[in-house]
Homo-oligomer: A and B are copies of this chain.
Amino acid sequence: MEFLVHVEIRWPENGDPAELARLTEAEQDRAAALGADGTIRRLWRIPGRRANWGIWVAPDATTLHAAIASLPLFPWLDVEVHPLAGHPSDPTPF
């Protein structure tokens, strides 16, 4: 099943930039792994924001949650999940 996932990063205004840099690097590694195993299919930055839209694939919401919660920045993420149903006019399913 596919999900449209909206993520905003809420790093504290007075948080430590070095810690954010370290976490961001770990985040990229984890995102790469989730991309490689097919959990994240697409990822776009929302222009002007520390935020992204993604197409995630998981058998159900429980597995999806585990994948999102595995991100190193998870404690600072504000995430909204939109379930997606198939559309008869979808031109190019993955």
A40 CA to B87 CA, complexed, in Å: 12
Binary per-residue interface labels of chain A (3-32) against chain B in the complex, 1 for a CB within 8 Å, 0 otherwise? 111010011111100000000000010011
How far, in angstroms, from A94 to B94 measured CA to CA in the complex? 10
A3 and B66 CA atoms in complex are apart in Å by 17
Q: Are B4 and A53 in contact (CB under 8 A)?
A: yes
Option from B1, B15, B42, B91 in Cβ contact (under 8 Å) with A43: B91
Central interface residue in A49, A69, A76, A77, by most chain B CB within 10 Å: A49
A84 neighbours in B (Cβ, 8 Å): 44-47, 53, 61
Inter-subunit contact A88/B28 (CB<8 Å):
yes
In the assembled complex, the Cα of A1 lies from the Cα of B59 at a distance in Å of 9
A40–B91 touching, CB < 8 Å: yes
